[in-house]
Amino acid sequence: MRVKDLFVTRSVSDLIDETEYGDERLRRSIGPVGLTALGVGAIIGTGIFVVIGEGAKLAGPSLFLAFILAAITCGFSALSYAELSSSVPVSGSAYTFSYATLGEFVAFIIGWDLILEYGVAVAAVAVGWGGNLNAFLESVFGIELPTALTASPSDGGVINLPAVFIVMLISILLTLGTRESARANAVMVGIKIVILVFFIVVAFTAFQADHFEPFAPEGFAGIASAAGVIFFAYIGFDAVTTASEESKNPGRDLPIAVIGSLLISTVLYVLVAIAAVGVASVDTLSGSDAPLATALDEGAGIPWAGGLLAAGALIAITSVILVLLYGQTRIFFAMCRDGLLPRRLAKVNPRFGTPARLTLGFGTLIAVLAALVPLDEIVKLVNIGTLFAFVLVNVGVIILRRTRPDMKRPFRVPGSPVVPLIGILLCGYLIAQLPWETWVRFVGWLVAGLIIYFTYSIRHSRLRRGEHATRPGDAGAPDATSDPGEKG
């Protein structure tokens, strides 16, 4: 095989045809509100309830500037995601975009890595859900679950039952339908936004301006360091694009959802950061495992706020699990449909319109991981795949602008190729800051993926076999009157 054969690309028109006429197609059932809620649901999780204290250690009272800096860093890549998702509205996100621009080999590598990133993230967040459940029960009802049922064997327990429960519950919900899952997520997003707005309003009633002096004790270096920590509280807007194929009007709705979810989350993050510093000192915030609850307790004299914010964190984490697990199954689904992984797993349940078998299978594997494996170290290694995906999406915009200049683009990145290049450089900088353990894990998972690609995927690839989606009226095509999926 020639090296250039590894970089064969899929036609954008064929990818889109597959979503309309193929046998393995998903229902278009999510509107702009549901898509935006998916983004907000993935972004606003434990980060705002916990990471704000870590950021305060580094940036001091100028913490809100670190949130803005991190948002700007994400914004460059968000614009590229918006262009590609509206132009190539196909399930798979960065994997599919790479298949259309950089070739099959690169697409497989990024898809393979994103499967791990999403899977480990879901398991880790599920473990965090169990911890927050305990905190909520103890704060509100004075009940504490036994360690044997809430920790992995290496942490002194037997099995983490709360983590198993939430992963399997979300898996079943995702199996029953995308529209139903999106509605449940929208409700959870609404609740956690209300709780954060409550925090902001109450905190401003006890606001003390002298808490902002000295404003930036470590200067810009402290703000930049805090932005590096806070950056990962923004990851999640990319999960919106995994729903491209299930969007009712992808050309209009996906850019709104990608950019809108990032803007909504940024406004909330900045307001919460200003309110938190205004109601409590930096030392109070940085010295607490639950900084927002501590801020209202000590700064505003509201001791019952701990229970409310614990409930908010619990709901926030639930929506994060839902969106991340949804995103992982859609990336795997796209790879299976393309033949790079077992195609039988891409079977869509005719009743629910979802890849039910695949979703329940992943849910079971992740539940076992969350129940038995300690994730304190693994969770630190989930970021490199996301950053690589950001890089490739920015590269994809530049390449498609040159190779397909006449392609319909409902949304266009302004200032291309300069804006995507800035996105690449910013992501590259953050990748370079990652610890060596991350690279070791990345290389190990990559080697396993290469073995699968060269022993299985390359022989079963639909592209290499010459299999393409057929339009109605073509030989062997489905009847033009057949239902291509629920348009809602």
Predicted confidence (pLDDT) per residue in 219-230, tens digit: 888 888 888 777
CA atoms of 134 and 146, how far apart (whole Å): 9
Question: Residue 378's pLDDT band (boundaries 50, 70, 90)?
Answer: low
Whether the pLDDT of residue 470 is over 50: the answer is: no
CA atoms of 30 and 34, how far apart (whole Å): 6
Q: Which amino acid is at 358?
A: L
Helices (DSSP H) in 206-304: which residue ranges?
A: 219-230, 250-279, 282-286, 291-294, 300
Question: What rounded mean pLDDT belongs to the chain?
Answer: 82
> Which of left, alpha, beta for 479 (phi over 0: left; psi -120 to 50: alpha)?
beta
Do you know the residue count of the chain?
Answer: 488
φ and ψ at residue 108, rounded to 5 degrees: -60, -45
The DSSP annotation for 313-333 comes to HHHHHHHHHHHHHHHHHHHHH
Instruction: Find out whether the peptide bond into 214 is cis, omega within 30 degrees of 0.
Output: yes
Look at 471 and 135; give whichever has higher pLDDT. Answer: 135
Look at 359 and 286; give whichever has higher pLDDT. Answer: 359
Give the CA distances from residue 283 to residues 276, 289, 300, 329, 453, in Å, rounded to whole numbers and listed in that order: 12, 12, 16, 42, 51
> What value does the mean pLDDT take over residues 290-317?
80
Question: Residue 9's pLDDT band (boundaries 50, 70, 90)?
Answer: confident
Whether the pLDDT of residue 376 is over 70: the answer is: no
CA atoms of 409 and 433, how far apart (whole Å): 34
The sign of the dihedral angle between the CA atoms of 391, 396, 402, 403 is positive
Over residues 315-359, the pLDDT tens digits come to: 888 888 888 898 889 899 989 989 999 988 888 888 888 888 899
pLDDT at 90: 83
What the block records as the tokens of 263 is 């803007």
CA atoms of 193 and 457, how far apart (whole Å): 43
Over residues 177-188, the pLDDT tens digits come to: 888 888 888 899
Question: Residue 1's pLDDT band (boundaries 50, 70, 90)?
Answer: low
> What value does the mean pLDDT take over residues 18-33?
71
What the block records as the tokens of 89 is 């509205």
Question: Residue 480's pLDDT band (boundaries 50, 70, 90)?
Answer: very low
238-247, 356-365, 417-426, 449-458: the lowest-pLDDT one: 238-247
